[in-house]
Structure 1
Amino acid sequence: MSQQEAKWYIVQIQSGSEKKVIQQLHEKARQRGLSEVFEEVFMPAQEVSEVRRGKKMNVEKKFFPGYILIKMQPNRDAWYLVRSIDGVFDFLGAKGNNGIPQPVAPKDVAQIRDMQEKISQGAYTAVHASTYEIGENVKVIDGPFEGFVGVVEEVDQVKSRLKVSVSIFGRATPIELEYGQVTKV
């Protein structure tokens, strides 16, 4: 198999199954002799303290629930392996491109890493008092979808999360975002 330059891809997965998908990816890649094809798997997250049932606990807060980033060599065997994992929906941008995933610009991944570092250092806070309504237009101001405008489909006020439908490669794509990642239009 010829070596190609690795590229970053965003993979949409079932929210809450990020760690399981990453573990399965590593296992399947090893079993199929494709470990060298996958350079890095990245799930932007931050360790935060929460009080649950009266006890303070450290929990991992994902910045983009339902998405992981994978740096891998672009080839059909690797794409098929990723798609074969339970909980994986597809690569972002593959549907309108004959099933061929579209890579993410390295500068976008660098911005995500920078944001994660700044949040870890306390430069940003995740407290937002805004409330959103279904059908309301919002603009994504943070993350890999920064600059996209979408429509709120679902609101989870307890978790301060939204499901927003944005047009990606000409198709309406639902993405899960936290309040701090959007602003009202």
Structure 2
Amino acid sequence: MSENPTSPENEELVVDQAETEAEETETVESETAAEEAPEAAVTENGEAEAANELLDSTEGPVDVEKAIRDRLNKFRNDLRLLPGNWYIVHSYSGHERKVKANLEQRRASLDMEDYIHEVVVPMEEVIEMKNATRKKITRVRMPGYVMVRMSLDPDNAVLRTVKDTPAVTGFVGDSRLKDREDQIPTPLSFQEAYAMLAPSVEQEFTRELEAAAVATPEKAVRVEFEIGENVTVINGPFAGQTATVAEVMPESKKLVVTLTLFGRDTSTELAMEDVSKQD
């Protein structure tokens, strides 16, 4: 590997598609909620595949909470075996996916696959009410930050490759060597990396488990709640308030309910055990 692998002036960057992406991708729940999945590490173990394997190997209703714990334990174990360390890269807010696309293109064009192993933009899916319509919003969970799993080389060429990527402003944790051009960033601890990646894995696995259960209804968990009925919140910050069931998610034992906060209807997700039916 050459000492200075910075890109040529005419290097092509993967920007056209990334520039057209909105910072938040809105998808109507009934149409495209499952089309865009959050980014996650250990991508060779897809959450859809894991969910289908679980349902195929289980007789009777699935214990969703146990299934999620088991999936996260496997993810943790797989994460430990991956080469390299995780680093956090600063980017311009709203350019996170552009940075990911450009860095992956530079990794290939500059022959850096042995050093830059994975680029992740953690995503999350939330429900919002817009114009009286419930929509699922897939958005960047940590605006202005991109996770990179990489191995350092003796000449720090990999660091320059990352720093020279358009829309990258630097690494988190490299201020201790500001007087040097080749600042060495501080990697995340294993627990820090896991804490940043696990929420996306959990959310995606839960969604895929619900989708797989719909295809195999005999696996579904029986529930007593119905859309449109009023319930009373019995646990959490909304305890004592009346809410209306907007969505029932039996596989995850959760409800999406609508309640009134400060005079406005607000949707939130609650565990079934945190609400009670009204007489």
| TM score, norm. by length of structure 2 | 0.39
Q: For the structure 1 residues 84 and 53, does the alpha-carbon distance in structure 2 shift closer, same or farther, using more than 3 Å as the test?
A: farther
Aligned residues: 121
Q: For the structure 1 residues 34 and 117, does the alpha-carbon distance in structure 2 shift closer, same or farther, using more than 3 Å as the test?
A: closer
In the alignment, the residues of structure 2 paired with residue 110 and residue 7 of structure 1 have an alpha-carbon distance, to the nearest angstrom, of: 12
* Offset, 1:114: 2.7
In the alignment, the residues of structure 2 paired with residue 56 and residue 90 of structure 1 have an alpha-carbon distance, to the nearest angstrom, of: 38
Higher helix share: 2
In the alignment, the residues of structure 2 paired with residue 32 and residue 52 of structure 1 have an alpha-carbon distance, to the nearest angstrom, of: 44
**Match of residue 96, structure 1, among 151, 176, 181:** 176
* Offset, 1:32: 0.9
* Offset, 1:57: 3.8
Equivalent runs, 1:109-148 vs 2, <5 Å: 109-118=193-202, 121=206
**Match of residue 136, structure 2, among 55, 58, 68:** 58
Q: Secondary structure of the equivalent of 1:96?
A: helix
* Offset, 1:28: 1.1
Uncovered stretches (5+) of structure 1, i.e. residues with no partner? 123-127, 130-185
In the alignment, the residues of structure 2 paired with residue 26 and residue 117 of structure 1 have an alpha-carbon distance, to the nearest angstrom, of: 21
Q: Secondary structure of the equivalent of 1:29?
A: helix
Q: Secondary structure of the equivalent of 1:36?
A: coil
Structure 2 residue 81 is the aligned partner of structure 1 residue 81: no
In the alignment, the residues of structure 1 paired with residue 191 and residue 164 of structure 2 have an alpha-carbon distance, to the nearest angstrom, of: 28
Q: For the structure 1 residues 53 and 25, does the alpha-carbon distance in structure 2 shift closer, same or farther, using more than 3 Å as the test?
A: farther
In the alignment, the residues of structure 2 paired with residue 58 and residue 85 of structure 1 have an alpha-carbon distance, to the nearest angstrom, of: 31
Q: Is the 8 A contact 2:104 2:119 kept in 1?
A: no
In the alignment, the residues of structure 2 paired with residue 60 and residue 78 of structure 1 have an alpha-carbon distance, to the nearest angstrom, of: 31
| TM score, norm. by length of structure 1 | 0.56
The letter of the residue matching 1:90 is G
Higher strand share: 1
* Offset, 1:111: 1.9
In the alignment, the residues of structure 2 paired with residue 16 and residue 93 of structure 1 have an alpha-carbon distance, to the nearest angstrom, of: 21
In the alignment, the residues of structure 2 paired with residue 47 and residue 106 of structure 1 have an alpha-carbon distance, to the nearest angstrom, of: 24
The letter of the residue matching 1:91 is F
**Match of residue 16, structure 1, among 75, 82, 94:** 94
* Offset, 1:54: 5.6
* Offset, 1:89: 0.9
The letter of the residue matching 1:109 is A
Q: For the structure 1 residues 81 and 53, does the alpha-carbon distance in structure 2 shift closer, same or farther, using more than 3 Å as the test?
A: farther
Cα RMSD over matched residues? 2.6
Q: Which residue of 1 aligns with 2:78?
A: none
CA deviation map 1:79-123 (0-9, x unaligned) = 11111112111001112234111111122111222333455549x
